[in-house]
Structure 1
Amino acid sequence: MAELTALPRVLAFVAEAAGQAGLGTEARGRLELAVEEVFVNLCTHAYPVDVPGWAEISTHHADDRLTIEIRDGGIPFDGTRIPTPDLEQPLAARPVGGLGWVLIRRLVDGLDYRRVEDCNLLRLTMRLPAQPRR
Structure 2
Amino acid sequence: MAIDELDQGRGVSGIVVANKFRIHPAFVTNQTKKLEQLELLARVTSPDDARFLQMSLTEKARAEITKLSNRRQALTSTMFSEVDKESLDYLNKRLTSIAKIADWHLKIEHKHTVGSNQTATYPAYFLQ
TM-score over 0.5 for the pair: no
Q: Highest relative contact order (Cα 8 Å, sep 6+), 1 or 2?
A: 1
Name whichever structure is richer in helix by fraction.
2
Taking structure 1 as the reference length, the TM-score comes to 0.26
Name whichever structure is richer in strand by fraction.
1
Query: Which entry has the higher C-alpha Rg, 1 or 2?
Result: 2
